[in-house]
Every structure is written in structure tokens, then in C-alpha cells.
Amino acid sequence: MADWSNFSAKINQYLCPPGNGVFTVNTAKERKESLHKSLYGNTDNIELAWSEQVSQLPLDTRPVVLGVCSDTGGGILRGANWGPLFLRQTMLSDDYDVDYFDVGDVRVIPHLLHDKYLNEATITNCRKALYHNPESSLPVSALSITEDFCDEFYHNFPDKGLFAIGGDHSVSYPLARSYLRAKKAQNKKAALIHFDAHTDLLVERLGIDICFGSWVTHILDDLPSRDMAFQFGIRSSGKDRGHWEDSFGVNQYWTHEINERGAQAIVDETIVKLKANGIEELYVSFDIDALDAHFAAATGTPEPDGLNPEQALLIISELNKHFKITGADMVEIAPFLNTNEDGGNDREKTLAAGSQISELLLKALAE
């Protein structure tokens, strides 16, 4: 158990109680307290209640939920840092049937993205702030902390499923990368299933290589082969499907094609390709903007003419009949954004669609 005692010490340094990942005193205070009440039964000494629960992780058999409240890798309309708190609260309402172990939120310094973009003086100063120890060797940026957390998680618990809530889509870079490395070490062939309006296949954006628009590019070489990345719901792109498939080797199903051929025909074709490559397990990364803006307006880059939730649910559940889903994330839900001109209940609709899909993913992870 030496590894677990190291890891549990790290969890207490890297993470904080669920819903507390956005560093704030008063904003959304009532919502946080209500989440803590449903998780721990009271709201006094949440740190202690959470830490005691974390110590039970090795004995628990449910899928694990991690919040990554970072929107530093976004940049058009921010606000996905609030996704983990709001999505959890919606999922805990009576409308959803979910059962998971909540390990907490990454402690996010909102001005930092990845440690490789920082100088030593900044890292030392942030180690002082996060760990009260400038001599610490631990990472300080959201993506760097997430990657080390996931590496330790899969090392300690190779059979547990991890479901992460973002955050902007850059958080999937450490999540998927660590997952794919772990599967490779376990000699299991795993593929990426990616729902999104956008390809996220930039090489860099304004000189930054890891961000919401480029994370897929930088995990392709961790797949068994590049064509084991499947993208669904693409429709907002300066280049056509052929460009992306030829340049990067990925498979794309744009929304118009899914509508024309039907989601069932598309997923049947995907299953054949996955089986032909000997794939056993899947990582599902779900950007809420894969859904039509009517269902998902509370997000940084809402797009019209998208998938409806039923199409996404069908694709995931059909895939899950043939393959184990062992890792997943739900990202880019920004509950404070109202992007529809006519106002309306953007937040509730987006959270409902996100919860419905997360519920299915959590069930799949529990199998």
C-alpha cells in the first residue's frame, strides 16, 4: 500500500472538496453548500469530511468523478470553470440516476495552463501558495496537476473508470493522454471517441500548442494508430473533412452526414472499423458544443445545425454494446453564459443535456 499512501497524500495536496475548484469566497456559495450537503450531509468542516471520504477510495468500486475547473485553455467566451459544480448539482437531482465516487476538484490557479509555459520563479512562488513549500517538486498548473493525478490514479487503480468534468477542452489533453499511456502499459488497445462541433486539430493557436483547439493533435501519437480517433458532430471548420482526415489520419463524421445517413449507420460503420483494429476499450471525450445550440447554448462556442442529444446517446450506447468505455469526460459547459439572443433557459437546457449524456457515460464506466 506504499503507492496508495503516496497517492493519497498527493490527492490531499492536488485536490479540494467537490465544487471548490474555482477559487472564490462568495460567488455561487449557496450552490456549493447545497452540493456539500447532498454529498456529506452537512456543511461544517467540508475539508475533513472530504479527506475522510478520499481515504475510502481503494475500497470503493464505483466510477470516480474528478472536476477540472480550468478555462484557461479556452479563450473565446470563458466560463467552463463552473461546469464541475453545476453539472454535479444537476446530476444529483431526482431526474438522474447516477452513482459515483466523487474524489473532488483540481486546485486550479486560474492564470496558469501548463507548467511548461512558466518560469522557475513563478513555479516556486505558486508552490508556496498551493503547497506552502517552495521546495516542493509538485506541478502547479491545472493541466500539469491533472496529468500527474491521472498517472498516479491509473497506476494505483488500473481497473477503475475515471470520469472528468471540465473545464475547457484543453483539460482532455492530460486526461486522454494519461489514459492512453495507461492502457498501452496494460497491453489494452484503446480508441478515442470525440464529440465536438470543432476538430480541435490545430497544431498550435497563437503560438500555444496545448489549448482547447489543439489538444487532439497532441494525443494522436498515444493511440494505437492515428485512425483510432473518431470525431462526431463536426460542422464548424475552415477546412473540409478530407483535409483533416488526410493530414491527421483521423476519422470524421460531420453532423450533416450523421443526419443524412442516420446515427445507426454511422455507429455501425465505426464499430466495424474499431473491431478490425482489435480495439477493446474506449475513451469518450464529449464537448457539449457537439450538440445543437438549441440544446447547448451555455457554452463558449455554441454552433447551430448540431446533433440532438438522442443521436449522441444512440452512438454512445451502441458503441458500449461492443466495447468497454473505461474513461470519459464532459467539457465546455459554461453555466453563466447566455448565448441565445432571445435569452431563455440556456443554463438549464445545457445542464440537462450534459447530465443525460454524463449519466449514460457513468453507467458505462460502472460496468
- Binding footprint of Mn ion on the chain (CB under 5 A): 169, 196, 200, 287
- Taking the CA atoms of residue 156, residue 153, residue 54 and residue 95 in that order, the dihedral angle to the nearest 10 degrees is -130
| Nearest residue (CB) to Mn ion, 35 versus 258 | 258
DSSP string for residues in 146-205: HHHHHHHHHHH-TT--EEEEESSGGGHHHHHHHHHHHHHHTT--EEEEEE-SS----S-B
User: Which DSSP letter does residue 232 get?
Assistant: E
CA proximity to 195, closest of 144, 278, 100, 267: 267
Nearest approach in angstroms of CB 121 to Mn ion is 33
Q: How far is the CB of 326 from Mn ion (least distance, A)?
A: 21
- Around Cβ 195, how many Cβ atoms within 10 Å? 27
Q: How far is the CB of 262 from Mn ion (least distance, A)?
A: 24
Computed from CA positions of residues 11, 16, 18, 22, in that sequence, does the dihedral angle turn out positive or negative?
negative
Q: Which is nearer to Mn ion, 105 or 196 (CB)?
A: 196
Looking at beta carbons only, is 172 or 356 nearer to Mn ion? 172
67 touches 106 (CB < 8 A): yes
Beta bridge partners of 205: 208
Between 325 and 331, CB nearer to Mn ion: 331
* Residues facing residue 287 across a β-bridge: 331
Pick the closer one to Mn ion by CB: 32 or 194: 194
C-beta of 339: minimal distance to Mn ion in Å?
16
**Euclidean distance between the first and the last CA atom of the chain, given in angstroms as a whole number:** 26
- Residue 53 C-beta: closest distance to Mn ion, Å: 31
- Distance of closest approach, residue 200 Cβ to Mn ion, in angstroms: 5
268, 269, 271, 276: CA torsion to nearest 10: 140
Check: CB of residue 104 under 8 Å from CB of residue 50. yes
Residue closer to Mn ion (CB basis): 200 or 329:
200
Instruction: Evaluate whether 231 touches 253 at the Cβ level (below 8 Å).
Output: yes
Considering beta carbons, is residue 102 or 168 the nearer one to Mn ion? 168
Q: How far is the CB of 203 from Mn ion (least distance, A)?
A: 15
Amino acid at position 313, single letter: L
Smallest distance, Mn ion to C-beta of residue 41, A: 36
- Give whole-number Cα distances, 17 to 83, 168, 214, 231, in Å: 15, 20, 30, 33
Looking at the Cβ atoms of 102 and 329, the one nearer to Mn ion is 329
Of 36 and 169, nearer to Mn ion (C-beta) is 169
We find the least distance from the C-beta atom of residue 286 to Mn ion, in angstroms, to be 9
Give the closest residue to 158 by CA, choosing from 130, 179, 135. Answer: 179
